[in-house]
């Protein structure tokens, strides 16, 4: 069965310092992996996705994530946090079995706070 | 204009009342979804539809029903609302590859 674990429910960083949001997954098949961001009182926006191409994936707003199969991880990083990055971040997994209906499994979210 | 539009954006309703949340999309996608979001529980799938004639229950379909009126429209109904259905509801759509899902901005529903 597939599952997603976001290892930190809350992360707090100072503006200008690196961001690391951790995500581990479990999947019996080759997964597709996604990071979504939700700003306060806003909908969900796709940050980036991995679908079996390059293992280092670059997304919007300077975020990137690396798919590490040996570690079953897909951690989200950004070199320098900005105040506008404060939001809730969700790691999502979907397997790629042929014919599968590609249901998404969502992590519980990591709340990122950015301090001045 | 938004690719996925939900109405209403906010609604307060009383226990036992029927409430409908509507969703329309301009992406031309076949697949549409309804999720609810609760604090600490992430997003949970209520119903999904892979085309106009295909409706499937998600993980928490009890107490909900849906209607796929057209490719672009997918509505969610609570026939008799109860307080634990208070949540933020999201409609979404994706292409048949399912690799990227586009979300509406959410509908806050409060059942008192």
Query: What is A18-87 written as a DSSP string?
Result: -EEE-EEEE-SSPEEEEEEEE-TT--EEEEEEESSS-SEEE-GGG-EEEEETTTTEEEEEESS--GGG-E
The answer, yes or no, to whether residue B44 has pLDDT greater than 50, is yes
The answer, yes or no, to whether residue A36 has pLDDT greater than 60, is yes
Q: Answer yes or no: are the C-beta atoms of A5 and A23 closer than 8 Å.
A: yes
Whether chain A has a CB inside 8 Å of the CB on B48: the answer is: yes
Task: Return the pLDDT at A100.
Answer: 45
Provide, as residue numbers in chain A, all residues whose Cβ is less than 8 Å from the Cβ of B58: 103
Of the two residues A71 and B1, the one the predictor is more confident about is A71
Inter-chain residue contact A43 with B104, CB threshold 8 Å:
yes
Quick: pLDDT tens for B82-112.
Answer: 999 999 999 999 887 766 788 998 999 999 9
Provide, as residue numbers in chain A, all residues whose Cβ is less than 8 Å from the Cβ of B98: 94, 101-102
What token pair was written down for B60?
């928490």
Inter-chain residue contact A103 with B41, CB threshold 8 Å:
no
Which residues of A fall below an 8 Å CB-CB distance to B? 9, 32, 34, 36, 42-46, 49, 51, 90, 94, 101-104, 106-109
Provide, as residue numbers in chain B, all residues whose Cβ is less than 8 Å from the Cβ of A109: 42
Determine the Cα–Cα distance for residues B106 and B5; give it in Å rounded to an integer.
9
Provide, as residue numbers in chain A, all residues whose Cβ is less than 8 Å from the Cβ of B100: 34, 46, 49
Helix (H, G, I), strand (E, B) or coil at A12: strand
What token pair was written down for A116?
């001045």
In degrees, to the nearest 5, what angle opens at C-alpha B89 toward C-alphas A81 and A6?
40
Task: Return the pLDDT at B53.
Answer: 92
Provide, as residue numbers in chain A, all residues whose Cβ is less than 8 Å from the Cβ of B48: 101, 103
Determine the Cα–Cα distance for residues B37 and B45; give it in Å rounded to an integer.
9
Task: Report the pLDDT averaged over residues A76-87.
Answer: 97
Inter-chain residue contact B45 with A108, CB threshold 8 Å:
no
Inter-chain residue contact A44 with B90, CB threshold 8 Å:
yes
Task: Report the pLDDT averaged over residues A68-78.
Answer: 95
**Residue A104: closest C-alpha in chain B:** B45
Residues 6+ apart with CB under 8 A from A70: none
Query: What is B43-103 written as a DSSP string?
Result: EEEEEEEEETTEEEE-TT-TT-EEEEEETTEEEEEESS--GGG-EEEEEEEE-TT-S-EEE
Task: Return the pLDDT at B100.
Answer: 76
Inter-chain residue contact B105 with A43, CB threshold 8 Å:
yes
In degrees, to the nearest 5, what angle opens at C-alpha A57 toward C-alphas A53 and A60?
135
Return phi, psi of residue A62, to 5°.
80, 5
């Amino acid at each position: 069965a597939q599952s997603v674990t976001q290892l930190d429910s809350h992360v707090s960083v100072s503006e200008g310092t690196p961001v690391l949001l951790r995500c581990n997954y479990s999947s019996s098949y080759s997964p597709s992996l996604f990071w979504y961001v939700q700003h306060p009182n806003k909908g969900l926006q796709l940050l980036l996705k991995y679908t079996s191409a390059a293992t280092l994936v670059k997304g919007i707003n300077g975020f990137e994530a690396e798919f590490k199969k040996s570690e079953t991880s897909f951690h989200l990083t950004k070199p320098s946090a900005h105040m506008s990055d404060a939001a809730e971040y969700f790691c999502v997994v979907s397997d790629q079995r042929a014919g599968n209906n590609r249901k998404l499994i969502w992590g519980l979210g990591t709340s990122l706070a950015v301090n001045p | 204009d938004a690719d996925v539009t939900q109405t209403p954006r906010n609604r307060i309703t009383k226990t036992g009342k029927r409430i409908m949340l509507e969703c329309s999309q301009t992406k031309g996608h076949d697949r549409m979804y309804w999720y609810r979001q609760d604090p600490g529980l992430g997003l949970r799938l209520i119903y999904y539809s892979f085309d106009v004639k295909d409706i499937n229950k998600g993980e928490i379909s009890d107490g909900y029903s849906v209607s796929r009126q057209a490719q672009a429209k997918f509505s969610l109904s609570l026939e008799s609302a109860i307080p634990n259905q208070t949540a933020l509801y999201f409609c979404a759509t994706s292409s048949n590859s399912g690799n990227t899902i586009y979300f509406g901005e959410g509908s806050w529903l409060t059942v008192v």
